[in-house]
Amino acid sequence: MTATTTKASSAVPNFCEGIQYFGEALPDFDTYGTTPAIASGKVAILNPTDTNAVYQTLLAADALRYLTLQITASKASGHPGGFASQAEAYAALVMLGHKNIITEVGHHAPGFYSAMFLDRSLEDMGIFTVQQLRDRFREKHGLLGHLSGYIPGILAPAGPLGQGQHFAMSAALLHREKLFPFTVGDGGLGEPYIMSSMAHFNTAYPSVTNFLPVLVWNGYSQEHHSMVSLKTNEEMIAYWQCNGFSEVVLVNAKDFDDQNQDGDYVDSTAFSFDNRLDFTKAVLVGMNKAERCALSGKLTVFIIKQLKGAGVHALGAKSHNLYPKDTLDAPHIVAALQKLALPVQAWETVRTNAERAGGGPAAKTAVTEFELPLADLGELPLEEYAVGGEPKVATTAMGRLVGIVGNKDKNFLVTNADGNEASGIANINQALKINHPTIDDLYSQAPGGQVYEPLSEDACAGLAAGLSLMGARTLWCSYESFAINGLPIWQTVTQAMAELRRQTPSTITLFTAGALEQGRNGWTHQRPEIEAYFASLMRTGNVFLLFPPDANSIQACYDWALKTKNKGIVITASKSPLPVRSTFAQTEKGLIDGAVLLHEVASGKTVVFAVVGDMTLIPTFEAAAFLETEGIGVKIVSIINPRRLYRPHDTAWETCSEPDGGFLSDADFEQLFGGDALIGVTGGAAAMLEPIMLRSNSKRDTFAWKRGETTASADELMAFNGLTGEALTKRAIELVH
């Protein structure tokens, strides 16, 4: 599509302001390019073999390439190459009427922004012209380097590889009648755990096939050849088939090359114009087949095989990102833009098709632009146990409520890596059933259950967090020591929730069997560093860690969490029977204040124990009993919601789309934690005590996790880490004297 290019003139439509080059008339444009292939009042082309539709799909692909290169070069930064190699596939999806398009590849962001500009979605954020598109790229409150929940029309965030399928599967589960394609790069194909998560999902939900991976097989990853670059077409097809995909649609640009390009991966923009049309037609027809298969119950993948960087400033991995030298004035950038340049009339056709496709801009039609209706839960029937009465298992008390939520809300899903029964929450499985193809009442499993149990924390966290982002209620359950493997996707979602322009249910987790309960199970079960990870996330402003001290408290915590929006909420509790130490009212106050006073004896000098967790209260009460016999006053404060204990300026709460500015005042902090000495106690990382240590003016110290060891009991493990009543007593006496 080469033509002599000219500088933009005043005769162009307003949206084209900022386009630097326009091409001369294209072959047969008057015949196939002037009347939009998506007719007024329609949402898609009528026939993928229609020459008008094919011709205009090619125009759309080059428009996407042009904008992607121009906006990245305007900042000499960004990633044009990967998206450019699949521009025909994205254009085909749009021409076929699809706007619910997701990506697993954060580096496809400038291409997705270009698509959102073409269909006018970005007008919702004040971007009406190409010049504004250029100006707002990679700017704060603009078009970030990777996709986020802030951008109109974008369904899901993208950045870390190996996550996009979770969002596509989540959306497909909630909206069975719509197609959710997602692009995945061959460079990221080996990331954990793309294939395994789709395979388990397909086993659990065999009829939910309306998500469509679009593999961008371009031979390269970020800085080198992709690890699948030497696979033959037959091997790639077999790879997907052996992972359960019954339909594999592969379109190879090499089959249409009339320029004798070297290698298995070629650039279709170098073909003759007629061969470019033939290749585009093959993509359009192939995508049409893929969408029909995916929407009719067949697990399907579409593969476009084309050289990375097709049509832009460089080829292969060298096209992946721009450097300071890659400016709009650089000769190689100018040459690429001039090669891609479309005539003004072509831009008008492309814009009209993009706007009509799918019934309007993605910002007005994508499923994530609307809040998903939620089932009314009413008031949950909490069961308050007597303080000081029979010990209770906190997780089991919460599990009863989870079953009630699931029975009232059929979109509700619980995920766990095959460990609910071991975590004291077998009652969840009994109430909601494990979704499993094998019917077995003994194991509470049956097709259609609301408990999803892949042996992968990534798959557990991915589907639970993805569904929450898409608007549904979920619960991800895990051992605290294993959950680290699912945190990347959960963190991605919490950050997206902080930026969303709509409300969505908070993504809630229940982490049981903390390191202190894993004494005899060896190192793999003793990894509380996850709490340091969470402690840092609290600073983002919308992540809340809840540490209920008992079976009463956990019920109030879960009830509160269910009513929140756009938060990441982690509930950590024991799976062992423990004393009931608090009332509902105390936890309700603790959720607001951050902590609650469980025990106080005034006498002379006072030691304050600030305790995170439930099992850690056992040695703390032992220490308190001894100190009281020595005439030393004691306060035991249970830290339930440590995020409330930071000072307002410590977190970025005001930047969140659903800001929560609740923090304990200085006066109330002093009333709770004031004393002659303060000792922070936690069975996890000491970082969780940071907000208390920042604000306390007392002489102070911390008792926290050091490392795991294979021991016979939780008491022995706590002793190994210095968490004993004797050690706490000794240090308390040293501090007050």
pLDDT confidence tier of residue 2, bands split at 50, 70 and 90: very low
Q: How much of the chain exceeds pLDDT 70, in percent?
A: 96
CA-wise closest residue to 14 among 129, 127, 132, 133: 129
pLDDT for the residue 374: 97
Indicate if the pLDDT at residue 110 is higher than 80. yes
Stretch 658-685: mean pLDDT, rounded?
96
Token pair in block for residue 148: 């986020």
The mean per-residue pLDDT over the stretch 593-614 comes to: 95
Does the pLDDT of residue 339 top 80, yes or no?
A: yes
Give yes or no for a contact between 594 and 662, defined as CB atoms under 8 angstroms apart.
Answer: no
CA dist 658 to 470, 498, 640, Å?
Answer: 16, 7, 22
Q: How confident is the model at residue 483 (pLDDT cuts 50, 70, 90)?
A: confident
Q: The tokens of 698 are what?
A: 């007392």
Mean pLDDT of 431-436: 97
- Taking Cα atoms as reference points, which of 106, 110, 160, 116 lies closest to residue 138? 110
| Strand-by-strand arrangement of the 247-252 sheet | 102-103, 180-185, 211-217, 300-305, 247-252
Instruction: Name the one residue in this structure whose structure tokens are 């521009």.
Output: 87
Cβ-contact 671, 556 below 8 angstroms: no
User: Quick one: average pLDDT of 153-171?
Assistant: 92
Residue of higher predicted confidence among 717 and 49: 49
Q: Residue 524 pLDDT > 70, yes or no?
A: no
Distance CA 3, CA 412 (A): 56
Strands 577-578 and 392-393 turn out to be antiparallel
DSSP annotation string for 619-676: HHHHHHHHHHHTT-EEEEEEES-GGGGS-GGGS-GGGSSS-------HHHHHHHH-SS
Contact 441, 465 (CB under 8 A): no
pLDDT in tens, 373-383: 999 999 999 99
pLDDT at 321 over 50: yes
- Three-state SS for 333? helix
Output the average pLDDT for the chain.
Answer: 94
Segment 392-406 shows an average pLDDT of 97
pLDDT digits over 54-75, tens only? Answer: 999 999 999 999 999 999 999 9
Give pLDDT tens digits for 689-728: 999 999 999 999 999 988 877 777 888 888 988 889 999 9
Q: Please say if the pLDDT value at position 360 is more than 70.
A: yes
Q: For position 3, what pLDDT does the model report?
A: 45
Structure tokens at 699: 């002489």
Q: How confident is the model at residue 479 (pLDDT cuts 50, 70, 90)?
A: confident
- 562: part of which helix (H) or strand (E)? helix 551-562
Alpha helices in 674-723 (DSSP H): 690-695, 714-720
Indicate if the pLDDT at residue 1 is higher than 50. Answer: no
Structure tokens at 487: 């945190």
The average pLDDT across 284-293 equals 98
The answer to whether the beta carbons of residues 539 and 650 sit under 8 Å apart is yes
| pLDDT above 80: residue 33 | yes
How far is the C-alpha of 123 from the C-alpha of 426, rounded, in Å?
50
Residue pair 698/637 in contact by the 8 Å Cβ criterion: no
Letter for the amino acid at 263? G
Say whether pLDDT at 8 is over 50.
no
How many Cβ atoms sit within 10 Å of the Cβ of residue 107?
25
pLDDT tens-digit series, residues 206-257? 999 999 999 999 999 989 999 999 999 999 999 999 999 999 999 999 999 9
Amino acid 327 reads: T
- Average the pLDDT over 154-169 and give the result: 91
**What is the spatial distance between Cα 425 and Cα 422, in angstroms, rounded to a whole number?**
7
Listed residue (133, 25, 24) closest to 72, CA to CA? 133
In the chain, pLDDT over 90 holds for what percent of residues?
86
Alpha helix ranges (H) inside 357-445: 362-365, 394-408, 426-432
Q: In this structure, how many other beta carbons lie within 10 angstroms of the beta carbon of residue 446? A: 15
In terms of pLDDT, which residue wins out, 421 or 346? Answer: 346
pLDDT of residue 4: 45
Q: Residue 532 in contact with residue 687, Cβ under 8 Å?
A: yes
Is residue 314 within 8 A of residue 307, CB to CB? The reply is no
Rounded Cα distance, 571 and 567, in Å: 13
- pLDDT band for 518, please (50, 70, 90 cuts): low
Residue 153 CA to residue 156 CA, distance in Å, equals 9
pTM score, two decimals? 0.95
What does the alpha-carbon distance between residue 172 and residue 179 come to, in Å, rounded to a whole number?
7
Query: What is residue 580's predicted lDDT score, i.e. its pLDDT?
Result: 97
Residue of 150, 168, 192, 102 lying closest to 501 (CA atoms): 150
Burial of 330 (0-12, 13-18, 19+ CB in 10 A): middle
User: What is residue 257's predicted lDDT score, i.e. its pLDDT?
Assistant: 98
Residue 706: per-residue pLDDT: 86
Cα separation, 559 vs 134, whole angstroms = 46
State pLDDT tens for residues 632-646.
999 999 999 999 999
Query: Hey, how many other C-beta atoms are within 10 angstroms of the C-beta on 141?
Result: 9
Q: Where are the beta strands (DSSP E) in 409-567?
A: 413-416, 434-435, 445-446, 451-452, 474-479, 507-512, 543-546
Cα Rg, the chain, nearest whole Å = 29
User: What was the pLDDT predicted at 516?
Assistant: 67
Query: What are the CA-CA distances from residue 234 to residues 204, 215, 282 (Å)?
Result: 28, 15, 18
Q: Please determine, for residue 52, whether its predicted confidence score (pLDDT) is greater than 50.
A: yes
